[in-house]
A and B are shown apart, each in its own frame.
Chain A
C-alpha cells in the first residue's frame, strides 16, 4: 500500500534518505531489466529462474526438498514449485532479500565444496539435513544475514536468521495461492486438504468432524 504514496519530501534529511532510496530502487530496476533482457537466451542455462543462477537454483531446490520433502503421501516443495515462488518474489516484492540469498547460497556452496569436494548434486539426504541443521543452529554473528544492508534487516525487523528466512519462504511457496508460482497443481494444499479460495462455506460443510471435500480452487478461478 505504501507504494501508492509518493516519496516523502520535506526536511533535508528526508530528501537525502529519499535520494538514497531512489538510487537503490533504480539499481534494482536496472538489475531486473538486465535479467529480463537476457531472460530468453539464458532461460535454459539458468534452469528457468529469473533471479537464481542455475547453481543457486539447484541448491535452493535441494534445500526446499528437505524442508518439505516428497514422500509416500505426495509431492514436496520442489514439485510444488516453492523455488519458483521464491525466485519470483525476489524479483519483485522481496527484492530486499536478494543479497541475503546471494550471500547465503554462496556460503553454503562453499561449505559443500570444502567438506564434500563437490556440488549439492553429490550430497545425499543425510548430508543435506546435517548442513541445514547446522545453518539452523548458527549463532547470530555467524549467520550470513548479519550485517547485510536492507532497511528491515537494519531495523531488526527482518527474519531472525537466514534459516528462518529460507524456511518461511519455502513454506509460503508450498501454501500460497498458485498465482504466485508455488503450490503448483495445489500440491501444498492437497497435502493438508485445504480447498483454498472459496467465497462460500455452508453450515453442512462447517459442522462435520470428518475431512471436507471441496474442489481445490485458486483466486484466479473466482
Chain B
C-alpha cells in the first residue's frame, strides 16, 4: 500500500461541495489534495465537437457510473428489500456540475427558518398532520443575512447571471417586469444578465402574466457575455448550442466547478488534483480521522493519504456511506432526515404555434415563485384541512426538448407506436412544453440512507440504501402545484394539457439532500453551523447532505456557498478543528 505525504487538507471528491473550499484554502496557504474517482475531461479535448450528440451523452449516459461502481438501492418501507436504482450523477473532475443545467439561486430568507415561519403563519393546530406523519422540519443554524455575502461570492466568482428581483428591499430595480420579486434581498446586482428568452419562454410568460403572476427569466450559471472572474479566469458567452444538460460545455460557457474554480486553486501552487482515486475508507486513531484509503482506478493499487483536515465532497450518498463504512455514525444520526426532489408533471401542446423547444439549453427558462416557500400563504390559509400544505414549488418552462429526449411525451389516448404515433410526433413534437415543478419535500424521521447489506461496490464498500415514502404534505402539494401549472398553460393557450399531481418517493438523482443535518445541538444534528462533524471535528461536509430542509429551488448555489462558508471558518478559526463545540 502506497503512503503519500501528509497534506493540510484532503478532499474526497471534487464536485460542487469541494470546489470553492479548494480555492479559499489553497489561497490561504493550506496544502490541499483532492482525490476524485473520475477522470479529468476538458472542453477542448473531450467535449468539442463530440458533445453535440444527445445519444452519446444523455441517452447512453456518457458520464455516469455502473451500478457496481456506485451502488444505490431504494425501498419505501423498512420491511421491504431494497431494489437497485440508477445513479445518474456524472462522476468526474467537477462532479455533477459538469453535466448540470445551471439553474442557480439563493434560498429564500425563510428557507433558513422553516419551522419558525410555519409556526408563526399557521399555528400548531394546523400543523398537527405534519407531526403525525413524522415530519422533522427545523430551522437552520445559520441565517440568510450571515451567508448573503457568500452567496454573492458564488455569483461573481463562479459566474451566475440574472435580473435582480430585490436589491436592498427595492423590488425589480433594474427592469420593471424582470427578476424574481420574491427573492431574498441582495446587497448587489448580479454580475451579468441571464440567457435570453425563446419561444417556449415567451409562451409560458404570457400564460403567467394572464394569471396575474410574476414570471422572470431564471438566473443562470451560464455566461451571456465574455466574463473575467475576480480569479482572473476569462470565459466566452454561451452560443445557445442546446446540447447542455447532460453534456459538458464545449465552449466553457457553462459555469461549473472545473472551469470556474479549479484553475484558481491550481494557480496557488498549493493544490494538487488527483483524478482516478476512489476513496474507500476514513481511518481513525484516538477518535480522530488521520488518513483516507483509496484505490487507484487505473492500476487497482491501494493508497493511503494522511491529512489534518478532511472534506467530504463525494455527494450525499457517498458521504453517508463512507462515514458509516468507516464506523462514524454519530449515535445513529448519520443518514437521517434524507430528502429528494419529487415532481408532479404537466405537459402541453399548442395548435396555434410552433415552439421549436429543441432550441435553447434546458435552463433557457421563464419561471415563477408565486407558489414557492410561503409566498402564497394567504391562499393556503383558505384551503380545507385535507388540502392544506406548507412550503411550495418553483414552476418553470425548460427548453432542450429535442426528439431523443421528447419522443415519449405523448398525451393519454395517443398510441406510443405506429402510424398514429408518427403522425402525432410529426405534428406536435415542436409544439410541446413540459413544466418543471420543484416541489419542496420535507425531511422525515423515517426517511434515511444506510448501508445496503446485499450490494457492495467493486472495491468492497457497501452501497447506499434509501428508505423513503411520500408524506401527506408532498401529496397535497403535488396536487396543488400540478393544478397551478395547468392554469398557466391554459392561460397560455395550450390546445391539450396532460400530466399528474402524483409524486414519487424514489431518489431522483439531482437534488438528494439531508442525511448529515447541520444544527446547533449535537444531540439532534450531525454537523455544527460550519458543516463540521460534532463527533469528528477535523471532518467537514461539503454538499447538500447538511441541509436541514431543502427549499423549492435547486441546491447547488447553496452548496457552493456553504463550501466558501466552511473554508472561511477554518481559515479564521471560527471552526476549531480540535473541538466542534468550541466555535465562534
Q: Which A residues form the contact surface with B (CB < 8 A)?
A: 1-2, 4-11, 13-14, 17, 66-69, 71, 73, 76, 93, 129, 132, 151-152, 155-157, 167, 171-172, 175-177, 179-180, 188-189, 191-194, 197-203, 205-212, 219, 222
The answer to whether A207 and B197 touch across the interface, beta carbons within 8 angstroms, is yes
Closest 5 CB pairs of A and B: A8-B458, A9-B300, A222-B49, A206-B198, A209-B353
Tell me if A's interface is mostly helix, strand, loop or mixed: loop
* A70: min CB distance to chain B, Å: 9
Task: Please name all residues of chain A whose beta carbon is closer than 8 Å to the beta carbon of B198 when the two chains form the complex.
Answer: 206-207
Bound Cα distance A76, B407 (Å): 15
Nearest B residue (CB) for A210: B354
Known: A14-B460, A193-B430. A188 touches B92 (CB 8 A): no
Known: A206-B240, A211-B430. A67 touches B300 (CB 8 A): no
Task: Please name all residues of chain B whose beta carbon is closer than 8 Å to the beta carbon of A200 when the two chains form the complex.
Answer: 239-241
Among B360, B404, B426, B460, contact of A175 (Cβ-Cβ < 8 Å): B404
For this complex, 20 residue pairs linking A to B, each with C-beta atoms less than 8 Å apart, are: A6-B298, A14-B459, A66-B417, A67-B418, A69-B422, A71-B423, A157-B86, A175-B407, A177-B54, A192-B403, A198-B52, A199-B239, A199-B251, A201-B360, A206-B356, A206-B360, A208-B199, A211-B354, A212-B359, A222-B49
B297 interfacial contact with A, CB 8 Å: yes
Task: Please name all residues of chain B whose beta carbon is closer than 8 Å to the beta carbon of A6 when the two chains form the complex.
Answer: 297-300
Task: Please name all residues of chain A whose beta carbon is closer than 8 Å to the beta carbon of B239 when the two chains form the complex.
Answer: 199-201
The answer to whether B422 and A71 touch across the interface, beta carbons within 8 angstroms, is yes
Among B63, B240, B425, contact of A192 (Cβ-Cβ < 8 Å): B425
* A20: min CB distance to chain B, Å: 12
B62 interfacial contact with A, CB 8 Å: yes
Bound Cα distance A193, B402 (Å): 10
The answer to whether B355 and A201 touch across the interface, beta carbons within 8 angstroms, is no
Task: Please name all residues of chain A whose beta carbon is closer than 8 Å to the beta carbon of B300 when the two chains form the complex.
Answer: 6-10
The answer to whether A5 and B297 touch across the interface, beta carbons within 8 angstroms, is yes
Known: A192-B430, A219-B50. A10 touches B459 (CB 8 A): yes
B13 interfacial contact with A, CB 8 Å: no
The answer to whether B404 and A192 touch across the interface, beta carbons within 8 angstroms, is no
Report B6-62 residues with CB < 8 Å from chain A CB.
Answer: 38-39, 49-50, 52-55, 59-60, 62
Bound Cα distance A192, B199 (Å): 17
Bound Cα distance A176, B354 (Å): 22
Nearest A residue (CB) for B355: A209
Bound Cα distance A151, B55 (Å): 22
The answer to whether A8 and B295 touch across the interface, beta carbons within 8 angstroms, is yes
Task: Please name all residues of chain B whose beta carbon is closer than 8 Å to the beta carbon of A199 when the two chains form the complex.
Answer: 49, 52, 239, 241, 250-251
Among B49, B54, B68, B243, contact of A151 (Cβ-Cβ < 8 Å): B68
Among A4, A11, A167, A179, contact of B39 (Cβ-Cβ < 8 Å): A4
The answer to whether B403 and A189 touch across the interface, beta carbons within 8 angstroms, is yes
Tell me if B's interface is mostly helix, strand, loop or mixed: loop
Task: Please name all residues of chain A whose beta carbon is closer than 8 Å to the beta carbon of B66 when the two chains form the complex.
Answer: 2, 151
Task: Please name all residues of chain B whose beta carbon is closer than 8 Å to the beta carbon of A152 when the two chains form the complex.
Answer: 67
Bound Cα distance A110, B435 (Å): 45
The answer to whether A208 and B52 touch across the interface, beta carbons within 8 angstroms, is no
Nearest A residue (CB) for B280: A10
The answer to whether B418 and A129 touch across the interface, beta carbons within 8 angstroms, is yes
* B52: min CB distance to chain A, Å: 4
Task: Please name all residues of chain A whose beta carbon is closer than 8 Å to the beta carbon of B153 when the two chains form the complex.
Answer: none
B127 interfacial contact with A, CB 8 Å: no
Bound Cα distance A57, B143 (Å): 64
Known: A200-B239, A206-B199, A209-B355. A194 touches B84 (CB 8 A): no
Q: A73-B423, A198-B242 are in contact. List 8 more A-B contacts (CB 8 A).
A: A1-B91, A2-B65, A10-B460, A13-B460, A66-B418, A175-B407, A201-B239, A206-B360
Nearest B residue (CB) for A167: B417
* B353: min CB distance to chain A, Å: 4
Task: Please name all residues of chain B whose beta carbon is closer than 8 Å to the beta carbon of A222 when the two chains form the complex.
Answer: 49, 52
Nearest B residue (CB) for A220: B49
Bound Cα distance A17, B459 (Å): 11
The listed residue with most B CB atoms (<10 A of its CB), out of A171, A192, A197, A206, is A206
Bound Cα distance A188, B422 (Å): 10
B202 interfacial contact with A, CB 8 Å: yes
The answer to whether B196 and A203 touch across the interface, beta carbons within 8 angstroms, is yes
B419 interfacial contact with A, CB 8 Å: yes
Bound Cα distance A93, B60 (Å): 9
The answer to whether B63 and A1 touch across the interface, beta carbons within 8 angstroms, is yes
**B406-446 vs A, Cβ < 8 Å mask (1 yes, 0 no):** 01000000001111011101100110000000000000000
Bound Cα distance A205, B242 (Å): 13
Bound Cα distance A1, B297 (Å): 12
The answer to whether B84 and A156 touch across the interface, beta carbons within 8 angstroms, is yes
Task: Please name all residues of chain B whose beta carbon is closer than 8 Å to the beta carbon of A17 when the two chains form the complex.
Answer: 68, 458
B211 interfacial contact with A, CB 8 Å: no
Bound Cα distance A188, B407 (Å): 11
The answer to whether B60 and A175 touch across the interface, beta carbons within 8 angstroms, is no
B358 interfacial contact with A, CB 8 Å: yes
Known: A175-B403, A208-B356, A212-B356. A192 touches B429 (CB 8 A): yes
Task: Please name all residues of chain A whose beta carbon is closer than 8 Å to the beta carbon of B196 when the two chains form the complex.
Answer: 203, 206
Task: Please name all residues of chain B whose beta carbon is closer than 8 Å to the beta carbon of A206 when the two chains form the complex.
Answer: 196-199, 240, 356, 359-360, 364
Report B91-142 residues with CB < 8 Å from chain A CB.
Answer: 91-92
Nearest B residue (CB) for A132: B417
Bound Cα distance A202, B422 (Å): 29
Among A10, A177, A193, contact of B55 (Cβ-Cβ < 8 Å): A177
The answer to whether B55 and A172 touch across the interface, beta carbons within 8 angstroms, is yes
The answer to whether B55 and A176 touch across the interface, beta carbons within 8 angstroms, is yes
The answer to whether A197 and B360 touch across the interface, beta carbons within 8 angstroms, is no
Task: Please name all residues of chain A whose beta carbon is closer than 8 Å to the beta carbon of B202 when the two chains form the complex.
Answer: 207
Task: Please name all residues of chain A whose beta carbon is closer than 8 Å to the beta carbon of B426 when the two chains form the complex.
Answer: 73, 191-192
Bound Cα distance A69, B425 (Å): 12
**B285-325 vs A, Cβ < 8 Å mask (1 yes, 0 no):** 00000000001011110100000000000000000000000
The answer to whether A68 and B422 touch across the interface, beta carbons within 8 angstroms, is yes
Bound Cα distance A71, B419 (Å): 8
Among B241, B302, B421, contact of A201 (Cβ-Cβ < 8 Å): B241
Among B59, B416, B422, B458, contact of A14 (Cβ-Cβ < 8 Å): B458
* B462: min CB distance to chain A, Å: 12
The answer to whether A197 and B49 touch across the interface, beta carbons within 8 angstroms, is yes
